Structure 1
Amino acid sequence: MVDAWQRELRSGRAARGLGNRRRGADRGVARPRLLTGREVFGAPFVRELVERHLPQPNDLVATLTELTVRAISGAIRRWVAPRRIDEVLVTGGGARNPTIMAGLRSALAPTRVDTGEALGIDPDAKEAVAFAALAWAHVHRIPGNVPEATGAEGPRVLGSFTPGAERGAE
């Protein structure tokens, strides 16, 4: 049943000419966005897609999937790939989407694109792993920020450690 559903969704055709307009939104940006989401790609954006291009539901899914691949691969090429990279690891829901993964592999070739599972990390556990890594860095007094991405004046040890009450002292 799931295979038939995925085949049906993949049968859509992406609307053309949308990527250039979206790419223009980041022109002249000195640093990559920390987050992008509903403020850029929310209900008004989807409503415009439906009204202007009248896609069938499968076409809407195909268009949004293609825009996702373009946004991710474009950001990697612009902000990361000027440095040499050998591998891109995908986590979160996109790692479980075969169309997104195939699109990223194609767009980023010859760079290897894999999921977090390549490191033994469940792609759905990305936030837990990130917080564990930040906690480890804090305990070892290792800066956990990327000043170029955050705008910080320099490397910083992140977070704070607040010990609980000692046992028996209550």
Structure 2
Amino acid sequence: MLASGVWAGQFSEAFALAREDRDGISVGAALEAIGYRGERPAAAFPLHACYEVHIEQGPILEEEGVDIGLVHAAMGQRWFNVTLEGFSAHAGTTPMGSRRDALTAFAELALAVEQIGIAHNPDGRATIGMAQVIPGSRNVVPGGVACSVEFRHPQSQRWKRWISPCIAPLKRWRRAA
């Protein structure tokens, strides 16, 4: 989407080349490293027709026994980085009633996200793509969880109504502590 955004005039070439991945490597540096930077200006040019050949990244065509499909909508998407803060404690000596286990809150969040995706099928998507338990030790009650939540739907603003069902179980968890 970044390259097509430059082509369509939504982003400047400098903006696109300066974007960095999680390791701090810019798009420009990566293109230079593989010899793909090129000399042609990154700008729109007249077209008679345009086809974008793309692999299907999901199972739908294969499941339906179809060789080719036409895109009818693009998924609007929204990402959230979520940090749940509990309290780390020794797993063997901390009574269950005294715990503030962030992984328990994460489990409720994960179920809420899954239910949102199911409720808005076939077009909605709801995903937790990354999660990190902190401190990540087998004998420590998790004091934190950092995760990503992603919502997708062809009607790009629809996801706004999906936030409160995710927050509700976290509020219950917070009040219980």
TM-score range, shorter chain: under 0.3
Q: What is the TM-score when the length of structure 2 is the normalising length?
A: 0.22
Q: What is the TM-score when the length of structure 1 is the normalising length?
A: 0.23
Larger Rg belongs to: 2
The structure that is strand-richer by fraction is: 2
